[in-house]
A and B are shown apart, each in its own frame.
Chain A
């Protein structure tokens, strides 16, 4: 890259005609955009990792300040919270006031991020995962988050979506798997119902990808004919039977049958 820069500079200095000045200027603009994109990718990763460190230690005010004013947050099956104040209320009501309480281990370690920035550099998306190591056991939330760069040039989380893959106690997922978080399971109630419903492990649910296959460039579309939520291991009669139950248009299945009169 340095060679290219020097070349562009030499060209510009040697022949300062208008056309070539514009060409050198365009080269510099393109380089600027590429460097900015790398800086943006780093900053998005940094935000997601900082979010994880704040969760680990119950730093809810610091955590909520990572969000844009009108950001939304949806974790597990609990529904959607709208706006930064509600993000803070959710955390402080559901998990206690700010601070690291004795006896609590709540590590949400942030791994395996895939970040993409929009062409205009104002929005970005991240797929990542948390490996949860807690006093209660183990967990695997996934993330499909959105970020926006404000007029002040600062990146913020504009949407956090954290569907659960698997939660279990210390016995492990071979022995024991926990349900998804239902909207009515604990306070506060969400502003909006969940964007989709699904079951956690041993059910099979694929959170939609924000980006296409990096090699083929094709978007990934879940096969709604053979995948979806079920409540028994693959291959069992109960699982096969459950494949056809209550499936929704996007291939997911409701966590319970609709209420009967």
Chain B
């Protein structure tokens, strides 16, 4: 929403509280926020004299909020990219420290691990700390759509996760999936409140999807999760759609979905 560079009144009437909403509306584009902004703009247009008198203080407060939201977005990008670089190399202690104290970690159908120490130990299911010779564990963090809440305290993001795996004696694997994550700012520091990776497809390097799609791992019997999977689905050749955390960027409406049928998960 609503930055009209050619509109002489833009940004000059908005009080700090409205400015925060407007800054968020740029990213979230919720219809209610848009309505509010349009109302503000209409009011401003109708009373240009008042707009002229918008104080430098209120404009600065508006700028400050908008710059903070931009900085928040950058910080979340840095946080999630770091998660990927640590995860690639089996640096489980570093990974776990990126989560909030009650953070949640959910990978495919393995279930949910809650809290830093539980998360750290569950990551050993992906290999020993620091991996071991011959292992490749690349989990790329790409195509971010980050939505920071208007108050700058929480955020969500969708990421595209390309995966390349290998271990000795086994052929390499291609994988791909989607992250829908939640973040929280604690004492000025952004942390992962919930990481949910939805593997979409995985296959043997030589076979390809058509001949060799493999399925996700279920919950571990050795180190069971704290909660069962929040969403039950199968990866390719099924085609589950991870729900979108952000509203439609143009209409501002929630992105409605019809999930494909799945006789095992019970979706008709």
Q: What residues make up the interface of A, taking CB atoms closer than 8 Å to B?
A: 1-2, 5, 8-9, 12-13, 24-25, 28, 31-33, 35-36, 38-40, 42-43, 46-47, 49-50, 52-53, 57, 59, 62, 65-66, 98-105, 107, 109-111, 120-122, 131, 133-135, 137, 149, 151-156, 170
CB <8 Å contact, B248 and A65: yes
Complex: how many Å from CA A110 to CA B249?
16
CB <8 Å contact, B201 and A170: no
CB <8 Å contact, A28 and B56: yes
Given A9-B56, A57-B239, A154-B1, A52 and B63 contact (CB-CB distance below 8 Å): no
CB <8 Å contact, A43 and B26: yes
Complex: how many Å from CA A25 to CA B11?
12
Q: Interface code B191-233, partner A: CB below 8 Å = 1, 0 otherwise? A: 0000000001100000011100000000000000000000000
Which 3 pairs across A and B sit closest by C-beta, in order of nearness?
A: A153-B2, A170-B208, A121-B5
Of B34, B56, B209, the contact of A105 (CB 8 Å cutoff): B209
Q: Is B160 interfacial (CB-CB < 8 Å)?
A: yes
Q: Which residues of A contact B249 (CB under 8 A)?
A: 43, 46-47, 50, 66, 155
Given A9-B60, A65-B250, A152-B34, A109 and B143 contact (CB-CB distance below 8 Å): yes
Of A8, A53, A122, the contact of B56 (CB 8 Å cutoff): A8
Q: How far is the CB of B144 from chain A (nearest CB, A)?
A: 7
Given A100-B241, A121-B5, A105 and B70 contact (CB-CB distance below 8 Å): no
CB <8 Å contact, A52 and B143: yes
Q: Is B137 interfacial (CB-CB < 8 Å)?
A: no
Question: How many residue pairs at the A-B interface have CB separations less than 8 Å?
Answer: 156
Q: How far is the CB of B189 from chain A (nearest CB, A)?
A: 19
Complex: how many Å from CA A7 to CA B175?
52
Q: Is B3 interfacial (CB-CB < 8 Å)?
A: yes
Interface stretch, picked from B110-118, B126-134, B252-260, is B252-260
Q: Which residues of B contact A65 (CB under 8 A)?
A: 248, 250-251
Given A32-B63, A111-B143, A133 and B176 contact (CB-CB distance below 8 Å): yes
Q: Interface code B38-62, partner A: CB below 8 Å = 1, 0 otherwise? A: 1000000000000000001101100
Complex: how many Å from CA A159 to CA B158?
25
Q: Which residues of B contact A101 (CB under 8 A)?
A: 239, 260
CB <8 Å contact, B3 and A100: no
Interface size on B, residues (CB 8 A): 58
Q: How far is the CB of B34 from chain A (nearest CB, A)?
A: 7
Please give 17 more A-B residue pairs, beta carbons under 8 A apart, in addition to A39-B26, A105-B176, A154-B250: A13-B56, A39-B3, A39-B70, A42-B27, A42-B73, A43-B27, A50-B246, A57-B239, A57-B241, A66-B248, A105-B209, A109-B162, A109-B176, A120-B5, A122-B6, A151-B4, A153-B2
Q: How far is the CB of B129 from chain A (nearest CB, A)?
A: 30
Q: Which residues of B contact A152 (CB under 8 A)?
A: 1-2, 34, 38
CB <8 Å contact, B60 and A154: no
> Which chain A residue has the least Cβ–Cβ distance from B174?
A133
CB <8 Å contact, B200 and A5: no
Give 6 A-B contacts (CB < 8 Å), ordered by A residue.
A9-B57, A135-B208, A152-B34, A153-B1, A154-B2, A155-B249
Complex: how many Å from CA A25 to CA B255?
40
Of B1, B160, B238, B259, the contact of A109 (CB 8 Å cutoff): B160
Complex: how many Å from CA A199 to CA B176?
29
Q: Which residues of A contact B27 (CB under 8 A)?
A: 42-43, 46
Q: Which of B15-33 contact A (CB under 8 A)?
A: 23, 26-27, 29
Q: How far is the CB of A261 from chain B (nearest CB, A)?
A: 44
CB <8 Å contact, B143 and A110: yes
Complex: how many Å from CA A107 to CA B34?
31
Q: Is B142 interfacial (CB-CB < 8 Å)?
A: yes
Central interface residue in B143, B248, B260, by most chain A CB within 10 Å? B143
Complex: how many Å from CA A50 to CA B250?
10
Given A12-B56, A42-B70, A109-B160, A35 and B241 contact (CB-CB distance below 8 Å): no
Q: How far is the CB of A154 from chain B (nearest CB, A)?
A: 6
CB <8 Å contact, A100 and B59: no
Given A100-B239, A104-B239, A49 and B176 contact (CB-CB distance below 8 Å): no
